Chains A and B, each alone.
Chain A
Amino acid sequence: MRIVEKRQLLSGEEIDRTIQRVAHEIVEKTGGAKDLALVGIRRRGVPLSERLAKTIRAFAHVDVPIGTLDITLYRDDLSTIGPQPVVQSTHIDFAVDDRDLVIVDDVLYTGRTTRAAINGLFDLGRPRRIMLCVLIDRGHRELPVEATFIGRTVDTTDTEIVEVRLREIDGEERVVLVDRVP
């Protein structure tokens, strides 16, 4: 079983342009980023949320608070996997009540991560609204979850994997579609 790169979905430049466009959409939809806060899902949602906040600060001159959320304790597959995954910290130092929250993640797939993230946020308080922002929506939803802000929608098969590589974590900037071949 090998992993083979099939094609590139986004180049570094395209990632950047996508973030710019999505940042504008977020500001538009939240009436100027009022009461907005971004919550990045570990791991790759975190640098994406930081870039979105930076972009919003640059063109809308608003400082949007950013938090990070680790969803490990809310996963629905914990009793079926072997050793428990390592838990990381959740850092949300702003009040969640009455906020417009945008959950930021790299890929939307089954929707289970989003469900876990919503659970995690509700443990912290009662947001006014939760919206989802993803770089890639690859379909195959197993729960009724939809993203409000989408970078790009991609059709994928069950065996394919969408790999988002970001300089902060992977040292390069691209989104690729890979497949497992025997």
Chain B
Amino acid sequence: MLQRLQHLLGIESLTHEQITFILDQAKPFQEFHRYPLKKLATLRGKTVALAFFENSTRTRISFGTAAARLGADTMNLQAESSSLKKGESLLDTVHTLEAMRPDGIVIRHSSSGAPEMVAQRSGIPVINAGDGTHEHPSQALLDALTIRDRKGKLDGWNVTIVGDILHSRVARSNIHLLSKFGTRFTLCGPAMWVPREAESLAPNIRRTGRIEEAVDGADVVMVLRVQTERIHEPALAPEEYILRYQLTPARLRLAKPDAIVMHPGPMIRGLEIDPAVADGPQSCVLEQVSNGLAVRMALLYHLVGRAPIDAPHPAKERSNAAD
């Protein structure tokens, strides 16, 4: 059960039940966003360290807002900070933060496996906010919540992912998650970004270099951005990428009529996605963002909110506590 999970390092090792639990627990937090007063005292007195060793706007703000709305305080480490520029190691940075006793740490790092390394050496819960090209678990969870809400269920959809699959931790986490729910995947992009090894990530994956073929009959189309900061020589000139892989209204019409379009952000309108699609009725990008807040509140509530593992259970002694 999630309630015995100490860290959230990746989706790959989560069970179907644990994922469903997190999505179900995000629902009350979705409703919470309609309250006039968006402040709880649930995690009052707790501190969440946001250790973002790699640049991020939306994920960092999302986790920070989630913590604040639960009443927690945050320690904010950002990529451009001077200590990292002075050459401080990851572990030293983490131990420095830990000396100030946070109750949980959210880490984004450019090295795959960094959050796991920290979790092994840390006494507090660690949440992976994106590590290298490995996983981005909270993104996959918010994507799953968005699919489940928009389409009524999570099981058995045809999901097409377009873009740089090779370098995408978002793609990886989504594949790990949705494959536990019977999804059929189609991966599409320039050949050097959609390696054959991707087919072994889960059952029911096919690859194609042609977006028309990829989008045909899709229930969900996930568009990834072109990660120019991650690769030093773009594999394709932008003009060619637009010509061959941009999701245009015409191409989207090949998908099922009730197909939804998703994008982890930030979007480059006119590059990987046509503005009309980005802003059209099938686009879920803004819902993804608000679902991200709800999912992260649920994660912080369950992982950071808990008492130390060996704490007694006074609630069990309370006879007529609300159940």
Q: Hey, which bits of chain A sit against chain B, CB under 8 A?
A: 41-44, 70-75, 77-91, 105, 107, 109-110, 113, 116, 119, 122-125, 138, 160-162
Chain A residues touching B, majority SS: loop
A-chain residues with CB within 8 Å of residue B298 when the two chains form the complex: 87
Q: Tally of A-B residue pairs with Cβ under 8 A?
A: 94
Query: B301 contacts A74, CB within 8 Å?
Result: no
Residue from A75, A110, A124 in contact with B35 in the complex, judged by beta carbons closer than 8 Å: A124
Given known contacts A74-B42, A83-B4, A84-B302, A41 and B315 CB-to-CB distance under 8 angstroms: no
Residue of chain B at shortest CB distance from A79: B307
Please indicate the chain B residues that have their CB under 8 angstroms from the CB of A81 in the complex: 306-307, 311, 313-315
Is the pair A43, B323 in contact by a Cβ cutoff of 8 Å? Answer: yes
B315 adjacent to A77 (CB under 8 Å): yes
**Can you give 6 A-B contacts (C-beta < 8 A)?**
A79-B45, A82-B309, A83-B1, A83-B3, A107-B320, A160-B319
Kindly state the separation between the CA atoms of A74 and B72 in the bound complex, as whole angstroms: 14
B322 proximity list for chain A (CB < 8 A): 41-43, 71-72, 75, 105, 113, 116
Please report the C-alpha to C-alpha distance between residue A109 and residue B306 in the assembled complex, in whole angstroms.
25
- Apart from A91-B31, A124-B36: 9 A-B pairs, beta carbons within 8 A: A42-B322, A75-B322, A78-B42, A84-B301, A86-B25, A87-B29, A105-B322, A116-B322, A125-B36
Q: How far is the CA of A105 from the CA of B321 in the complex (A)?
A: 11
Q: Which of B6-44 contact A (CB under 8 A)?
A: 25, 27-29, 31, 35-37, 39-43
Chain B positions within 8 Å of A122 at CB level: 37
Q: B322's closest neighbor in chain A, by CB? A: A113
Whole-angstrom distance between the Cβ of B290 and the nearest chain A Cβ: 16
CB–CB B31/A83 < 8 A: no
Q: Is the CB of A109 within 8 A of B36?
A: no
User: Residue of B at shortest CB range from A70?
Assistant: B28
Chain B interface residue count, CB cutoff 8 Å, equals: 37
* Residue in chain A with minimal CB distance to B24: A86
| A162 B315 Cβ-Cβ under 8 A | no
A138–B320 CB distance below 8 A:
yes
Are A84 and B28 in contact (CB-based, < 8 A)?
Answer: no
Q: Let me know if B319 and A87 touch, CB within 8 A.
A: no
User: Are B42 and A89 interface neighbours, CB within 8 A?
Assistant: no
Most chain B CB within a 10 A radius of its CB, from A80, A91, A161? A80
Q: How far is the CB of B124 from chain A (nearest CB, A)?
A: 14
**A60 vs B300: C-alpha distance in the bound complex, in angstroms?**
46
Please give, as numbers and ranges, the residues of chain A lying within 8 Å of B309 by CB-CB distance.
82
Contact A78 B305 (CB under 8 A): yes
Asked whether B46 is an interface residue with its Cβ less than 8 Å from the other chain, the reply is yes
Q: Which residues of B contact A91 (CB under 8 A)?
A: 31
Complex: A70 Cα to B41 Cα, angstroms: 15
Chain B nearest CB from A121 CB (Å) reads: 11
